[in-house]
């Protein structure tokens, strides 16, 4: 695994958590929808669930919330690990660039502004930081 792939793990996990949170919002909206009652004489499927629709939605919400809690725990551990690895760098500018990029999820322009440096300088520092960064085995 390259240093960049290792560092990007937290960003990807954070994005996955946000996707799951949007799924919870979707199921919350679905749980408030009211379905109409059918009065036709069609025979019912004996294998169909008898739970109300909102109950199934609430079950889905609980399932996703448990997954999110698990992923948040993983993210906390991963971010701590990444932060510790960044602290091992001797150059403070390299530490800052990696923290801004991979811990704070800043854009290149934001990093350049915070460091009061050009984009080219930020890219140079980032490249050097990746060269000096050691990925745990």
| pLDDT tens digits for range 34-82 | 665 566 656 666 665 556 677 888 888 999 999 999 999 999 999 999 9
Domain of residue 117 covers 3-33+51-132
In the chain, the number of structural domains is: 1
Q: Residue 113 falls within a domain, yes or no?
A: yes
Q: What pLDDT digit, counting tens, does each position of 7-41 carry? A: 999 999 999 999 999 999 888 888 787 665 566 65
Return the closest-CA partner of residue 79 out of 104, 97, 107.
104
Does residue 41 belong to any structural domain of this protein? no
Q: What is the pTM of this model?
A: 0.74
In a domain, 42, yes or no: no
Q: How far apart are the C-alpha atoms of 76 and 113, rounded to whole Å?
A: 27
């Amino acid at each position: 695994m390259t240093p960049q792939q290792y560092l990007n793990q937290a960003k990807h996990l954070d994005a996955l958590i946000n996707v799951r949170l949007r799924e919870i919002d979707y199921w919350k909206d679905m749980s408030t929808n009211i379905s109409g009652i059918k009065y036709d004489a069609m025979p019912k499927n004996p294998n169909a669930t008898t739970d109300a629709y909102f109950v199934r939605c609430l079950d889905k919400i609980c399932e996703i919330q448990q997954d999110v809690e698990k992923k948040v725990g993983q993210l906390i551990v991963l971010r701590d690990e990444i932060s510790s690895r960044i602290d091992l760098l001797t150059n403070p500018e390299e530490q800052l660039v990696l923290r801004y990029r991979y811990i704070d999820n800043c854009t290149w322009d934001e990093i350049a502004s915070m460091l009061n440096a050009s984009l080219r300088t930020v890219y140079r520092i980032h490249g050097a930081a990746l060269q000096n960064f050691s990925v745990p085995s």
